[in-house]
Amino acid sequence: MTARLQAAALPHLPLGVRRPAFSRSSLQCGIVHLGLGAFVRAHLAVFNDDALDSVGAAAGAAWGITGVSLRQPDTRDALAPQQSLYTLALRDGSGEALRVIGSVLEVLVAPEAPQAVLDRLAHAHTRIVSLTITEKAYASDAPGSAVALIVQGLALRQALGRPPVTLMSLDNLPANGRVLRARVLALAAQQGLPALVDWIATGCSFPCSMVDRIVPRTTDADRARISAGLGMQDAWPVIAEPFIDWVLEDRFVAGRPEWPGVRFVAAQDDVAAWERLKLRMVNGAHSALAYLGVTAGWATVDAAMAQPALHSFIDTLLRDEVEPTLRGVSVPPGYRERLLQRFANPALAHRCTQIAMDGSQKIAQRWLATLRERLAAGAPIAHLALALAGWLHFLRGHDEAGQRYAIEDPWADALQVLYGQAEAQPDAHARADHFTRFAPLFGDLAGEPRLVAALAPALHSLRERGVAATLAAFDPLSKEQQP
């Protein structure tokens, strides 16, 4: 199969393949997205296509997307011969639906062409700068980082007399817009640019958002299957579940597309409730099953959820320990049940190792905030403690069959030292106590007696009995751990 997916080939796609209903030739790039990974191509770009399909290219001409890869050229190299077109494959137990996405118009690679990225950030057509750079990247202001590029681009924009823009984070961080604003202003101040600080603070907006869609990594088998379904080659399709969600603070200083299906809210506090729901329910449960799954040798999320004891554990964790902390959040009816069904989707083959990456940057929002609230209320924490024990057990670097896996984490070296020191402790209680003394992560939870008391038997059981046996015996175990 030699024909490549391109604009001229769209009319020749099979009838069941959805394609853009708008003309791409009249679009301008009004959105610059930093971090063009699979998630944004299965989320923002899809909402953008829906908006353009709804109003037509003439009315939506300002809202094409420039994607920016911050590290590697692989996405650009795959999409450039396809005029930035790619396929979205929505998969569940009933099959697969293919759709070609057309709102991404170009892909730049920041390390190769940093000036081209800055010029696009400062371009007169640019109105929104969006980001999916993962949690850890917000701590970096090194040259070439997303925050550094934004500050340079805004400085150029100000120098050229261009108007302010909206900067929109789509990452899984509480108050992500406020976090981004603080990082951008801090770096501009650090660089001695007071006029730029004032220009950003008074002119630009940083809306908060909550995004939700499960997007596993694309495999060679996915590429081959999707290309066969198209009748032409797509070098970089994306896979996603049918479910999609987006809650967005409606603060845009230079306009926005009319994205259908987005829940626009008036203030950051309105987003915060949805952020807590997503981080604690979806992301928290995802991490718990991922660490237990990796160490047990259950390679994918659906394989892990097919284990009755793990399914029951996740359900009880959410119902008994997470949902009670969501005060002020109107949890939609059936939310937990639908979430478990999403995790069990066998068509995604979402690998647990993908979710397990960068744990040190995630679990503070996903588990520790919930733990603090439960401890403050004097409430049981047995299930949260086992989830945390699962991550600490994961740090040993091999599963129960002895197969090694990489600890992909910005703190990997420090965590390996921590694990070795904990293993040298005389008993499970001392190991649990030592783990919690890792101040960069646990902070005020260091040595917290109730946390240590709940963590110790979970760590001991995982180490001596394994994941399956620990989960199978968890009901009596949880009774022993009641504070």
SS3 annotation, 111-153: CCCHHHHHHHHCCCCCCEEEECCCHHHHHCCCCCCHHHHHHHH
State the angle between helix axes of 335-343 and 284-296 in degrees (0 to 180), rounded to the nearest 10. 30
CA 233 to chain centre: 28
256: its two tokens: 């926005």
pLDDT in tens, the chain (483 residues): 479 999 999 999 999 999 999 989 889 999 999 999 999 999 999 999 999 999 876 677 899 999 999 999 999 999 999 999 999 999 998 899 999 999 999 999 999 999 999 999 999 999 999 999 988 899 888 999 999 999 999 999 999 999 999 999 999 999 999 999 999 999 999 999 999 999 999 999 999 999 999 999 999 999 999 999 999 999 999 999 999 999 999 999 999 999 999 999 998 778 999 999 999 999 999 999 999 999 999 999 999 999 999 999 999 999 999 999 998 778 889 999 999 999 999 999 999 999 999 999 999 999 999 999 999 999 999 999 999 999 999 999 999 999 999 999 999 999 999 999 999 999 999 999 999 999 999 999 999 999 999 999 999 999 999 999 999 987 544 444 433
Q: Which residue in 247, 246, 283 sits closest to 268, CA to CA? A: 247
Burial degree of 12 (CB within 10 A; 0-12, 13-18, 19+): exposed
Burial degree of 406 (CB within 10 A; 0-12, 13-18, 19+): exposed
CB 199 within 8 A of CB 164: yes
State the angle between helix axes of 428-436 and 412-423 in degrees (0 to 180), rounded to the nearest 10. 150
Which residues are CB-contacts of 277 (< 8 A; sequence separation ≥ 6)?
210, 326, 329, 331, 335
Predicted confidence at residue 270, as pLDDT, reads 83
Query: Which residues, in sequence order, are bridge partners of residue 128?
Result: 31, 166
Q: In which residue are the tokens 């390679």 written?
A: 299
CB 259 within 8 A of CB 246: yes
Q: 425 to each of 14, 433, 464, how far by Cα in Å?
A: 63, 10, 15
Which residues are CB-contacts of 147 (< 8 A; sequence separation ≥ 6)?
137, 138, 140, 141, 180, 183, 184, 187
- Specify the amino acid at residue 323: E
- Specify the amino acid at residue 96: E
Predicted confidence at residue 475, as pLDDT, reads 58
CA separation for the pair 212, 278 (Å, rounded): 7
What SS3 state is found at 212?
A: strand
CA separation for the pair 58, 77 (Å, rounded): 29
Please provide residue 367's backbone torsions phi and psi, each rounded to the nearest 5 degrees: -125, -45
Burial degree of 288 (CB within 10 A; 0-12, 13-18, 19+): buried
DSSP 230-257: HTSB-SS-EEE-S--EEEEE---TT---
DSSP 420-448: HHHHTSSSHHHHHHHHHT-HHHHGGGTT-
State the angle between helix axes of 308-316 and 335-343 in degrees (0 to 180), rounded to the nearest 10. 150
CB 151 within 8 A of CB 185: no
